[in-house]
Amino acid sequence: MLIAFNKPYGVLCQFTDRSTPPRRTLAEFGLPPDVYAAGRLDHDSEGLLLLTDDGALAHRLTDPRHKSPKTYFVQVEGEPHDDHIDALRRGVTLNDGPTRPAKARRIDDPALWPRDPPVRFRKTVPDAWLELTISEGRNRQVRRMTAAVGLPTLRLVRVAIGAHRLDTLMPGEWRICD
C-alpha cells in the first residue's frame, strides 16, 4: 500500500514523540496501521509525504541511486535574478559537498492553503516563489541551497515525488495511491 499525505507545518514525520512537551505527529491523522514514512519532510516544511507498509517500495522511493525527483514550491526572501536560478541549475556547494544540478524556475504565487502560523510579512523585504526539483535528499537540502545563493527560504512545500503529486490534498488529508 502507498499513501499520499499532505503533511501540515509543525508535524513530525513519525508516529511518536518523546520530547517534552510532545510535538504533533502522524498519529493524529487516522492513517492506516503499519505504514511508515518513505523519506522525511522537516518539521517546518509542508506537503507531500509518502507512506507505505512495503519496505522494498520505501527503499526504491528514498534511495538516491534511483534519483526519484522531488519538486518543491519555495517561498524565498529576496528578489531572484537569473544568476540565482542559474546557480541552482548548475548545483551549489554546501558544507557536505556539491549538490546535483536542480531544475529551477521562478513561478507566480501558487494557490496554496494558508500556513498556520503564517510566514512573517515584512513590507520592506521582497519575497518570491521558486519551483525547485532535486534528485537528492540531503538534510534540509532545499533550504541550504537557496540560502547558498542568497535567497533564504521562508516557506517550503513539497508538491511531487516522482509521478506522485499532492494535487488537491489539503493539510492533514491523505489518499491511497493507485
pLDDT confidence of residue 156: 98
pLDDT confidence of residue 31: 97
Number of structural domains the chain divides into: 2
**Residue 112 belongs to domain spanning:** 69-161
Check if 178 is active-site.
no
The enclosing domain of 118 has a CATH number of 3.30.70.1560
Place of cell 511531487: 160
pLDDT confidence of residue 123: 79
Element (H, E) at 55: helix 55-62
pTM listed for this prediction? 0.94
Shared-domain flag, residues 178 and 152: no
Shared-domain flag, residues 92 and 157: yes
Contacts of 27 (CB under 8 A, 6+ apart): 15, 16
Shared-domain flag, residues 85 and 133: yes
**Which of the following is catalytic: 17, 42, 44, 53?**
42
- The list of the chain residues with pLDDT below 70 reads none
Shared-domain flag, residues 30 and 10: yes
Shared-domain flag, residues 146 and 167: no
The enclosing domain of 23 has a CATH number of 3.30.70.580
Query: Which of 112, 104, 106 is CA-nearest to residue 155?
Result: 112
Cα torsion 32, 33, 39, 41 to 10°: value is: 60
Shared-domain flag, residues 81 and 157: yes
Residue 131 exposure: Cα atoms within 13 Å on the Cβ side = 11
